[in-house]
Amino acid sequence: MAGTAEYIARRKKEINALILAHYYQNPEIQDAADFVGDSLQLAQQAAQTPADVIVFCGVSFMAESAKILNPAKTVLLPEAQAHCPMAAMVTGEQLREYKQQNPAAAVVCYINSSAEVKAESDICCTSANAVQVVNSIDADRQILFVPDRNLGAYVQQQTGRDMIMWEGYCPVHDVLTLAQVETQAALHPEAKIVVHPECPPEVTRRADAVCSTAGILKYVQNSPVREFIIGTEEGFLHTLKQNCPGKTFYLARSGFICPDMKYITLDKLAAALDQMTCKVEVPPDIRQKAFHTLDRMLVLR
């Protein structure tokens, strides 16, 4: 494995590649990356990199977004089968049909969606900036939020906006129950409960803080508390432990794993760099429309 990691470090310099990894990736992938972050941070890095090649260690919608923002660059996804089940819960055709029936609604799409869905939306958001994005839309407009009903419900609670939720969800976060959280709270009464907004509403209401992964990291770093119950994918514990020494973390439930986020291995990353395989492409007409949706999000301050 050490030899593979050394090859990756050498090869990325040879081809001027930037390796981006999501917090949910395996620890060895996070350690091999140039930058590790949540969806918003990764999109920002992809938008501004001078690298010729972007290697995205995540799932397909992330790599698509990088290609949308960088059409002239080579974008690689080391495992072509790494997809987001939530993103598959809405299609461009379904969204076009809804828009025909509800032409006045503004469409906000979670970044966990396909390029085609982004192309049919007005503006994109991530879990880190969803409240800000929704608040940027004219107050008298109804909003269709796709595809995550749980993130949408949390945003509606925070903003009071008139919102319609698409019936999509994250299969990993959506199955976290209030009973599981309460069990951990009883076992660790001094711990703060910090969860991702993809969790169900009854869980986010119970939590001490509801944040994106980057937001969870910041919350933990700034908190004087030493113990935390974490309601998100287990891969994030690697980052938390690296950045918050002396603090203790308990997963809100056992088996908090996204299988698609674990498909990429060091061997697959090395092979993609070596052979320049698994290139990500987005049709030009879709890319142009989706670019505006992503760019509207990125220029918000």
Query: Which of 144, 165, 186 lies at the terminal end of a domain, its last residue?
Result: 165
In the block, residue with structure tokens 């169900």: 200
Q: Looking at the domain assignment, is residue 160 inside a domain?
A: yes
CA angle 29, 171, 147 (to 5 degrees): 100
Q: Looking at the domain assignment, is residue 293 inside a domain?
A: no
Q: Looking at the domain assignment, is residue 11 inside a domain?
A: yes
Q: Looking at the domain assignment, is residue 170 inside a domain?
A: no
3-state secondary structure of 35: strand
Count of domains for the chain: 3
Question: What would the two tokens of residue 79 be?
Answer: 């495992």
**6 with 77, same domain?**
yes
Query: Which of 165, 193, 219 lies at the terminal end of a domain, its last residue?
Result: 165
**63 with 123, same domain?**
no
pLDDT at 39: 87
Q: Helix axis angle, 284-298 relative to 39-48, nearest 10°?
A: 110
Q: Looking at the domain assignment, is residue 233 inside a domain?
A: yes
Q: Looking at the domain assignment, is residue 196 inside a domain?
A: yes
Q: Looking at the domain assignment, is residue 115 inside a domain?
A: yes
**Nearest alpha-carbon partner for 23 in 117, 126, 109, 114:** 126
Q: What is the pLDDT along the chain (301 residues), one digit of tens a residue?
A: 669 999 999 999 999 999 999 999 999 999 999 999 998 899 899 999 999 999 999 999 999 999 999 999 999 999 999 999 999 999 999 999 999 999 999 999 999 999 999 999 999 999 999 999 999 999 999 999 999 999 999 999 999 999 999 999 999 999 999 999 999 999 999 999 999 999 999 999 999 999 999 999 999 999 999 999 999 999 999 999 999 999 999 999 999 999 999 999 999 999 999 999 899 999 999 999 999 999 999 998 6
pLDDT one-digit tens code per residue, 80-112: 999 999 999 999 999 999 999 999 999 999 999
**36 with 105, same domain?**
no
CA–CA distance from 247 to each of 10, 112, 189, 207, 250 (Å)?
A: 34, 30, 15, 18, 10
- Domain with 103, as residue range(s), is 87-165
Give the CATH number of the domain where residue 111 resides.
Answer: 3.40.50.10800
pLDDT at 40: 83
pLDDT at 301: 67
Single-letter amino acid code for the residue at 88: A
pLDDT one-digit tens code per residue, 107-163: 999 999 999 999 999 999 999 999 999 999 999 999 999 999 999 999 999 999 999
pLDDT at 1: 60
pLDDT at 2: 64
Q: Looking at the domain assignment, is residue 49 inside a domain?
A: yes
